[in-house]
Structure 1
Amino acid sequence: MKSFPTCFVVFLGSMLLACFAVQAQSAIPINANDNVTTTIFFPSNIAKVVPPAVNFNFEYEDHTQIGLLKGRKGKPSNLLVITEDGYAYSFALSYSEEIQKFNFILTIDQAVSQTNPGKTVGASDVADRKTEENDSPEITDNTSAPVDTDTSDATQANEADTSSSTATDNKPTAQVNMDNTSMDTLVQQNKDVPKQASGNNSRENEDDDLYDTDREEYYRIFCENNYLQKTILKRSFRKNKKIALRLNNILTDRNEKYFILQIENNSKKEFSVGGLGFFRRTGVGQLEKIITPLYSFNLQETIDPQSVNEVVYVFKNFEIGNKETVSIVLTDASSDNGVVLPMDNLIVNSPSN
């Protein structure tokens, strides 16, 4: 039988090897955009997901092995997926206009860890982990009996022998077995996974404070990511002859409110835009006051026949009272015709996000 000091040295060496394996892991880099759906195939059903930032969207159905990823312009982010067999997969997500790889078929050797070997992990297992830890004693082996302090030395020696035999019989691999507490740590630390190194790291650091350093550029990026949204407010439109003005959506972000509009030219002639204005009436018989936008996006001077122009107007966030209205006025540069789209407080005060 090996002496206790020898076993302890072997056990300590095994732990150092495991720590090195954890540090050697790196997140799987994936590029995504909003035009291409990237498909990820996992070796087992998806049990839990730590979602990425809002400019990335990861979708999956319960009891399936397939995840679908899309992304919009914005800062890189990270994604953590834990499957039912206990393996955890980490991804470094970046936006790219060109996608070279559309499908990822994963194997278990690409996982960064295994949460609990020999046990199937379900969504309920992850959610109820803290309750189980409080209700059951802390155990260092696979038996259900509590560990006595008198036998702790023997138990530690046995564990050292097991670790030693495993280290000598098998080649070191990248997989690291972790208990439930370690999985909590992994989920928490995954939010700070270092992003994939790239040549434009300085630009990414600038984007962190873009809202404060270049407000107009921040507005432009937000508008570009949202101006092609489908119509949500289906009844908010007005039409004059064959020119229609439609309010597709209202969004809020930080301290601003975004009105996403659509101008439709259903005629066979080119339409010249004279202007697009916002007016606020505070009550019956009161004069309308012009609301000055902070930023406007994609308003064309002319709209081709049978075509559509999507526009975004940005204002400092505001709400109106029950008797107040906001009207959007589209004028024709070649005539006195125009389209007026009124909005009451229920529409203005209820952004979709």
Structure 2
Amino acid sequence: MKNYMIISAILICTFVPQLCSAQVLDTLYANDTKNVALFFPEPIRQGITGSENFIFTYNREKEQYFGLLQAKPGKESNLLVININGSVFSYIVSYKEKLSNLNYFIPVSSSIGNEKPKVKDSIPVETLESSVDYGTYYYEKFCRYLLDRKQRIGRIKNQTESIVLSVENIVFDKEELYFVIQIENNSTLDYDLNFLKFSIETRQKGKRKSLQRLYQEPIFIHKLPTKVRENETVRFVYVLPKFSISNDRRIILELNENDGERNLELKISHKHINNPN
């Protein structure tokens, strides 16, 4: 019986060698205070990390050869990058407080293969790109990252009847602005959210001064609650297309209670919009 098992193992490794060899991946190190640049032989089409502790950013609108890696303390994960020619690169990524290398120039020989391998009898398979909405995937992942960072841009808040609305952070990434928002309910009654709207308010000059508001539609919303319970604080993220405003304009956040009168407005100056984190 023992000899039979040995012979079987030899036969398997002879005819199916890929099952008997473990793939060894290189490790890339990053932290949350520096950008680690990865330069690839072809422009990047996709880049995905396996854990929320790691963020890999690259230009999704214009083809570029490099991406930036950042990490937060935590367990190691992996990074998968696909170039426009289908070349696949895979790495282990790990957090390291002190970095000895901030730039990695990736050679063609580091590719572990191609996303469309040539086979004699090909079977139609739904590609990774078509099965996942990478815009939504990236927004959600980056929003979770911002909620974990606890970074603040300044004191932007307003309150009414123990309901506090504040903007903790405004972050620019790629072609979007991320607004990290907090609602704090210090009252003894639950707060049922009707809507939270963004608008640009413009002061009309002249003898008859007036205000005009243009509502801004978010392209993604992460963890917006329908209810904030008594003595509860919730945080969520609105993602809007990048924009800037002149000094005669400002952003207005309108918080409206469903079947209630605890409504309030929060004003954000052009300085915060034009100088995000």
Asked if these proteins are the same fold (TM beyond 0.5), I'd say: yes
CA contact (8 A) 2:53 2:71 kept: no
The answer for the alignment partner of 1:233 in structure 2 is 153
2:42 maps to none
Query: Aligned pair 1:312/2:213, yes or no?
Result: no
Which of these residues, 215, 231, 235, is aligned with residue 290 of structure 1?
A: 215
The whole-number CA distance in structure 2 between the counterparts of 1:71 and 1:304 is 36
Summarize the alignment of residues 268-287 of structure 1 with structure 2, pairs less than 5 Å apart: 268-284=188-204, 285-287=210-212
Give the corresponding residue for 1:57.
Answer: 71
Report the Cα offset of residue 290 of structure 1: 1.3
Q: CA deviation at 1:329?
A: 1.1
User: How far is the alpha carbon of 1:215 from its aligned partner?
Assistant: 3.0
| Distance in structure 2 (CA, Å) of the matches to 1:297 and 1:341 | 20
Q: Deviations over 1:186-225 (max 9, x none)?
A: x5347974469xxxxx999539x97xx6533432232233
Point out the structure with the larger helix share.
Answer: 1
Corresponding residue for 1:344? 269
Letter matched to residue 227 of structure 1: L
Instruction: State the 1:286 CA deviation.
Output: 2.4
Question: Which residue of structure 2 lines up, in the alignment, with residue 188 of structure 1?
Answer: 105
Equivalent-residue separation in structure 1 for 2:135 and 2:53 (angstroms) = 27
- State how far apart, in whole Å, the 2-side matches of 1:29 and 1:204 are: 27
Counterpart for residue 227 of structure 2: 302
Q: CA deviation at 1:351?
A: 1.2
In the TM superposition, residue 243 of structure 1 has moved relative to its aligned partner by 0.9
Unaligned runs of 5+ in 1: 1-23, 37-51, 59-67, 78-90, 96-101, 104-122, 127-183, 197-201
Equivalent residues in 2 for 1:168-183, closer than 5 Å: none
Q: Deviations over 1:105-163 (max 9, x none)?
A: xxxxxxxxxxxxxxxxxx7xx9xxxxxxxxxxxxxxxxxxxxxxxxxxxxxxxxxxxxx
Matched residue, 1:86: none
Report the Cα distance in structure 1 between the residues aligned to 2:274 and 2:108, rounded to whole angstroms.
34
CA distance in 2, matches of 1:252, 1:190: 31
Counterpart secondary structure, 1:334: coil
Identity %: 20
Q: CA contact under 8 A between 1:247 and 1:261: conserved in structure 2?
A: yes
The corresponding residue for 2:25 is 27
Task: Give the structure-1-normalised TM-score.
Answer: 0.46
Other-structure match for 2:92 = 93
Is the CA contact 2:165–2:181 (under 8 Å) kept in the aligned structure 1? yes
Structure 1 distance, partners of 2:157, 2:75, is 31
Q: Deviations over 1:59-92 (max 9, x none)?
A: xxxxxxxxx66678x8447xxxxxxxxxxxxx93
CA distance in 1, matches of 2:70, 2:109: 16
Higher strand share: 2
Structure 2: 5+ residue stretches without partners: 1-21, 29-48, 55-65, 82-89, 114-124, 205-209
Identify which of 219, 223, 248 aligns with 1:323: 248
* Cross-structure match for 1:243: 163
Task: Answer yes or no: is the 8 Å Cα contact 1:250–1:259 preserved in 2.
Answer: yes
> Matches of residues 154-169 of structure 1 in structure 2 within 5 Å?
none
Number of residue pairs matched?
A: 199
Give the TM-score, by structure 2 length: 0.57
Q: What one-letter code is carried by the residue in structure 1 that aligns with 2:141? A: I
**CA contact under 8 A between 1:331 and 1:339: conserved in structure 2?**
yes
Structure 1 296/69 Cα, relative in aligned 2: closer, same or farther at 3 Å? closer
Question: Which amino acid is 1:92 matched to?
Answer: Y
Query: Which amino acid in structure 1 is aligned with residue 270 of structure 2?
Result: N
CA offset digits 1:314-344 (Å, max 9, x no partner): 1111100011111111111131221211011
1:244 counterpart letter in structure 2: V
Mapped partners of 1:231, 1:94: distance in 2? 24
